[in-house]
Amino acid sequence: LPNKIKNICCIGAGYVGGPTMAVIAQKCPEIKVTVVDINVQRIADWNDESLDNLPIYEPGLKEVVLEARGRNLFFSTNVDNAINEAEMVFISVNTPTKKYGVGKGMAADLKYVELCARNIAKVSTSDKIVVEKSTLPVRTAESIKTILDAEGKDIQFKVLSNPEFLAEGTAIDDLHNGDRVLIGGDQDEDGLNAIQCLIDIYSHWLPRERIITTNVWSSELSKLTANAFLAQRVSSINAISALCEQTGANVDEIANAIGADSRIGSKFLKASVGFGGSCFQKDILNLVYIARSYGLEEVADYWEQVIKLNDYQKRRFAEKIVQNLFNTVNGKKIAILGWAFKKDTNDTRESAAIYVADYLLNEQAELVVYDPKVKAEQIYADLDYLNTRSEEQNKHLVTVVRDAYEAMGDTHAVAILTEWDEFKSYDWEKVYNGMKKPAFVFDGRNIIDKQQIEDIGFKSYNLGRE
């Protein structure tokens, strides 16, 4: 097995593979890092001269790519070549929730991972360390290893688990200065050597004590557990937000008060219209599926409740809009501010905005959407994907605009669904003057000063406040 890494190949140039490899290349100039993808357009975008068309938006990413691209960071569609050249191959492809067959709607679909493993097995002519970067169910490494070895070639493969903990919108910061890196591997001599190769890479910029090593299964399960715990905190505070609205307590005051307890901690206690993103729901569903498959019904039910509460929160917010608008939004124009699942990203996967919009469209509302980073095609694609109504109807009922004031003009209500900073600094007096009266603001992120906008004349609804 290799003990010095000179060439890395990463299969998958997405939200995880792209930024992670860009930072490894930046910090390890002596290692050639090649990121490959079967999606030709994606690779072309990563190679785009201007750097303004990178396929994903992340603060600071442009600078990192500018520094390393063409030096020791390359984006290519020549998958086989890059695999063969590398001593270490990362698998960073998507693992969406299965949409068919056994485990439909619950289990992770591992077909892309398996295809990668088969491809690595087929084209390799030298020993390789294969690193799982994608989030995978426990014991996937075993399947990968079986597939790798099945070609019966006289070469060795060692599989490591190295889950990614970066959050979108802060990916570069998280990569540069992560709380920890986790590496799982076999605890035999070859396994420990492979782990050391990966430690050597991360040690270029992270202190050794932040690099945690475990066995493979602990590493795989830690990733699911971390996301389940984080999502659980959001569902927990969101559950309390509903109670606050009935009792006169204020959810932000509660978050502040409980967060001061060092055993609880202050992060991830922001009440919201519901968590989104490609990870939380998928990973919890996966955890629930695994628990059930081992007959652990109580464990499965416990974690499943986190998802149910999140669905409830999205529905509850949409219901509040309709109720407040005198129980009908039929033919009423409503502005949707924010479509991304959180600020500072153009990613919309599982965004609460999609579900709130769908609910309002079922009630025959007309929506005008503004998001600073999400393209119109994406917004229509997200709605069409639900299959609730025809593409023509979505086109007819939803308008996407590039200017927030234009979005809010002549509407009955504004619904804030993403916590973009720019929303806070709008001239809300001007917005008010341009709207139908009574003018409503539904703040699904509690980012606007309630007192200030009520003084202007708005009627406002906030999560977790009377």
Which tokens sit at 10? 């990463």
112 binds ligand ADP (CB under 6 A): yes
Site string for ligand UDX, 142-181 (x = CB under 6 A): ----------------------xxxxx-------------
User: Is residue 115 classed exposed, middle or buried when 0-12, 13-18 and 19+ CB atoms within 10 A define those classes?
Assistant: middle
Among ligand ADP, ligand UDX, none, what binds residue 453 when CB lies within 5 to 8 Å by partner kind?
A: none
Q: Which of residues 235-294 bind ligand ADP (CB under 6 A)?
A: 278
- From the candidates 164, 220, 366, 419, which is the catalytic residue? 164
Phi, psi of 48 (to 5 degrees): -60, 130
Which amino acid is residue 439, in one-letter code?
A: A
Planar angle of CA 373, 377, 378, nearest 5 degrees: 60
Q: Which is nearer to ligand ADP, 134 or 310 (CB)?
A: 134
The region of 5-13, 147-155, 222-230, 359-367 touching ligand ADP under the rule CB under 6 A is: 5-13
From CA 423, how far away is CA 436, in angstroms rounded? Answer: 20
Peptide bond into 137 cis (omega under 30): no
112 binds ligand UDX (CB under 6 A): no
83 or 318, CB closer to ligand ADP?
A: 83
If phi > 0 it is left, if psi is from -120 to 50 it is alpha, else beta; for residue 35 that is beta
From edge to edge, which strands make up the β-sheet containing 440-443?
A: 398-400, 366-370, 333-337, 413-416, 440-443, 459-462
429 among known catalytic residues = no
Pairing mode, if any, of strands 366-370 and 459-462?
A: unpaired
For ligand UDX, the binding residues in 298-317 under the rule CB under 6 A are: none
> Considering CB distances under 5 to 8 angstroms, the limit depending on partner class, which of ligand UDX, ligand ADP, none binds residue 342?
ligand UDX
d(CA 448, CA 462): 9
Residue 123 binds ligand ADP, judged by CB under 6 A: no
Residues 382-392 as b or e (16 or more Cβ within 10 Å = b): bbeeeeeeeee
In the complex with ligand UDX, which residue's Cβ is closer, 280 or 420? 280
Whether residue 164 lies in the annotated active site: yes
Choosing among ligand ADP, ligand UDX, none, which partner's interface includes residue 42 (Cβ < 5 to 8 Å by kind)? ligand ADP
Which positions touch ligand ADP (CB under 6 A)? 11-17, 36-39, 42, 79, 92-94, 112, 115-116, 134, 278
Which positions touch ligand UDX (CB under 6 A)? 164-168, 227, 230, 234, 268-270, 272, 275-277, 279-280, 341-342
Active-site residue set: 164, 223, 279
